[in-house]
Every structure is written in structure tokens, then in C-alpha cells.
Amino acid sequence: MRRLFHQSLTVMKNAFRRLEEQVPPPRPVPWNDSFVFRHVEKTIQQALVQKAARLISTLHAVDVLLLNGHLQEQATLQRVLDEIAEDIFFLAAAITNDEITDRHRQYLEEFYAEEFPDPSNPMARHQKPNMVPRKKIRAYVNRVLSTDPNPSRLSDIGESVSSVYSGFVHASSPQIMDMCGGDPPRFQIEGMLGTPRVAEHVRDAWNYYYRGLTAITVIAKAFGDKPLVDSMYQYIVKFEEVSGVDYGGKKSAT
């Protein structure tokens, strides 16, 4: 399975480089006595490229954690990946299925806002724009993109998944207890290789590599890059076939 994950990362990386070339590149912007790189145009397409960059980087990190049996930390990153994917679908849908709304403009204003607008005084208080609530992002994606007659049900499912992974992020007791095992039981604090938990988390990771592929495909569609969309769809079918997963997401083999 790890070989398949690496192959999917290569596919995503190649697609990303193609998408990256389709937006104005970052430019050096003065910062104190040096500079930082910024997308000065602050477009929705540039935001999609930035989200894709973080998506792929985080999937690489998931692979490293799995390899070393750090499953709690893997699950923490999967919460990050959930939100990145939701953001990608939220932004892309404005181009492919809807229009750029006030909600999208609010999101982009907050996304591009500097954490420290006055670099000469990093301790100065600052007020970033209001974030679009996660529930609003999730509801928009399900309403605009889903074919389910009851999109609120999908929002409830997304909320439940987010809640589970939030337990890993905030180190809640039920999630921490997954680290405990053996005879006598003890906490596995140097990774959990060799435990039954590994297979569970490999199967869980499959969903995130798959969703990464679909997120990159959605960006390609938003960019109007039909050849890339077609190529990504072809690979997704191969990814499903090799891993024994049908279009309904039922795993028949690993």
C-alpha cells in the first residue's frame, strides 16, 4: 500500500507543478530589513494553489508518521487534511458551480491577512478579519456540490468526523487510550509499530490519499485544464483498482 501512496504523491506533485505555472508567481515583498514571498494579486486561484501545496506536503508527513508508527500524530494531521480539502472544494465550487460570493470574499480576506501587519512591532495587537465558520464552509460545499437529496446529513457526518479527529488534536482521553496495549498494558510512547492499530491507520490513510487526488482534480477543473482533469480521473480509477476499492469506497482488498 505504501508504494501506491508514493505513486499517488508523484501524480499529485506533477499535477501541482502544472497548476502552479498557471497563476502569477509569488513576489518578494519587503519585510523589516529583508523580504518575504507573497502572492500580491491575492486571487482565488492562487489560494487554491497554496492549499494544494500544503495538502501534498501534509500527505508526505502522513507517510513519515505511518512508517514510524506514530499513529496519534497521523490522525492529528488528518484533521488538518479534512479542513484543507473542504477549503479547496469551497473555493473551487465558486468557479465551477457557482460564483464568487461575499462568503468567498470574506474567506480570502482572512486567508491573505498578515498575522503581523506591522513587522517592526511584532508585539502590537492586531485584528484579523473574521473567519468563515467551518460549519458554513461545510454546508456550502454540500449544498453546491453534493447530489445527495439531504445535504444537511452530509454536514452532520462531516461534523462527526471532525469531532473524532479533534480528540487527537486536543489529546482527549479516549484517543490517547488507543496508545495503550500489551500485557501488562502500557502506553506505547515511541510509536506503535507491530501493533494491530497500524493496519487500521493504513486503511484510514488510504482515504486521505484518495481525497487528495480528488481535491487536485477539482482544482484542475476550476482552472479549466481539461487534459489534466482527464489524466487525474484516469489515475483515480487506477488507484481504486489497484487498492481494491470501488466507486462507493468499499474496500475489498488492501
82 part of a folded domain: yes
pLDDT at 130: 86
Angle between helices 44-67 and 102-112 (to 10 degrees): 60
With beta carbons less than 8 A apart as the criterion, state whether 131 and 144 touch: no
pLDDT digit string, tens, across residues 58-74: 999 999 999 999 999 99
149 part of a folded domain: yes
Per the structure, the complete domain to which residue 217 belongs is given by 2-243
172 part of a folded domain: yes
201 part of a folded domain: yes
Quick check: 194 pLDDT over 50? Answer: yes
251 part of a folded domain: no
* 251 band by pLDDT with thresholds 50, 70 and 90: very low
pLDDT at 76: 96
- Number of folded domains in the chain? 1
pLDDT digit string, tens, across residues 5-39: 999 999 999 999 999 999 999 999 998 889 999 99
250 part of a folded domain: no
147 part of a folded domain: yes
The neighbouring-strand residues paired with 187 are 180
Quick check: 190 pLDDT over 90? Answer: yes
CA pair distance 135, 93, nearest whole angstrom: 16
pLDDT digit string, tens, across residues 138-176: 999 999 998 777 767 766 777 777 788 889 999 999 999
Quick check: 121 pLDDT over 60? Answer: yes
204 part of a folded domain: yes
